Amino acid sequence: MNILIIGGGELGSSIAEQLIAEGHNITLIEKSDKIAKKLNDELDAYVLAGSGTDVNVLSKANLDRIELFLALTNDDNVNIISCDIVKRLSHYKAFTIAKVENASRYFSNPLINHADFGIDNLIATKQLSINKILDFIAEPETVENINFHDNDIKIIGLQIFEDFAGANKTLKDIASMNKIWKKVRVVAVSKNNNTIIPSGEDTVNIGDKIFIIGKSEILKELIELYFASKTKIKNIIIFGGNRIGKDVAKYEVSRGKKVTIVEEDPDLCASLSEELEQVLIINGSGSNQNILNELDMKDSFVVCITERDEQNIITAVLAKRFGAAKAICNITNIAVSSIINELQDIDSAFSTESLALSEILTYCRKGEIISIYPIPNLKADTMKVKISENLDILDKPLKDIKFPKGMIIGVIIRDKKMIIPHGNDDIRTDDFVISFILPSAKTAVKNLFSNTSDD
């Protein structure tokens, strides 16, 4: 596929790098001459220095051949305008995707639609973060939460503590503890920051993280049976009064939760106090231990979402040491988020850029593979595939198929019904299959589901 990207920042360059590895032809436009030169040296791509709204620069990008356009700068206005320009200059052939951080500012009025600006798909990054935080608050026991199939199917990550009845047992023994384990599938285990695709003989130890796929309501029941925290969350404390913090606070207050926002900017505090009458607003910093002493940290869920990664990390660590039941933080740097998840003092770190990357890559796939969702905390992916009628693996018992090492089939969706697969189950035409794969297996798995091999 011929793809044009504007914006060579962390998100744009990460997506370019991944798409190049998958065999796509990439043209990238970056405003900064310095960054453009660096990317030209590092990427096997055609890199242009200039603005994504400059028609003269865009004319050098062979728009007549572009099939997909990704507007990924940090300027919402540039992303919106460039989609309109590219749509017209490509004679409406290019499919356009725009990252728009403050989407509600532009498109909250029903009379104004993103399609009016030539945008085929809108990635509202702040809303992605809001949704992620709300998922964590709804299920505070989880360290990861990924939705599939209209939220009917999930992958959740859970930390193994010493009170887990299956601690230090094999997965086979855990499966025999209760029939509910037959209704879900453990697709990965993280041990000492190494990810394995487990078999029934693998042992789950204290300190491990396990990742389970299943129906949302079954997973909720599993959590209540085996992973329910003895601590009931009573308070939500949000460090950062930006739009994400404000919207999370509004939602949780509507659900009857006690919410506090800690914000350093006094003017923003004044504005928040007027708008959020039921929320306690404190002017201060999460690194100020006097403020942490004043807050009721016990039984609190702490969300750290200031604009500074270092501040979020420090605050989350301190909050846990001051007694918070759970502390999560937002990290803008994709590379750093995976390292932060190795810290015992932080329950979960997520990157808005990683969430956006996952959403965008869903639209960049060809063939039957309709989405690949990266899980940077594990350096692993989930892959959702629509099964075509010409695959060699069709209508055979799974036990008779030689699957690539480093993959496991988590779920088969057939006629809107979910199947947790076992050895005698098979894959049929028009099934949807959700697999969990390690990076080393990605190429082999793609070939398995497409009956093609890379050149």
pLDDT of residue 319: 93
Q: Which pLDDT tens digit goes with each residue over 353-386?
A: 888 887 787 776 544 566 666 675 677 888 888 8
Compute the residue count for the chain. 455
pLDDT below 70 — which residues of the chain?
149, 334-339, 341-344, 364-374, 376-377, 451-455
Is the distance from CB of 262 to CB of 238 less than 8 angstroms? yes
pLDDT of residue 23: 84
CB atoms within 10 A of CB 353: 25
Handedness of CA 339, 344, 345, 347 (dihedral sign): positive
CB atoms within 10 A of CB 378: 22
Q: Which pLDDT tens digit goes with each residue over 47-73?
A: 999 999 999 999 999 898 999 999 999
One-letter amino acid identity for 269?
A: C
Beta strand 68-71 pairing with 46-49:
unpaired
pLDDT of residue 337: 63
d(C-alpha 85, C-alpha 99), whole Å: 16
In Å, the largest CA–CA distance within the chain is 66
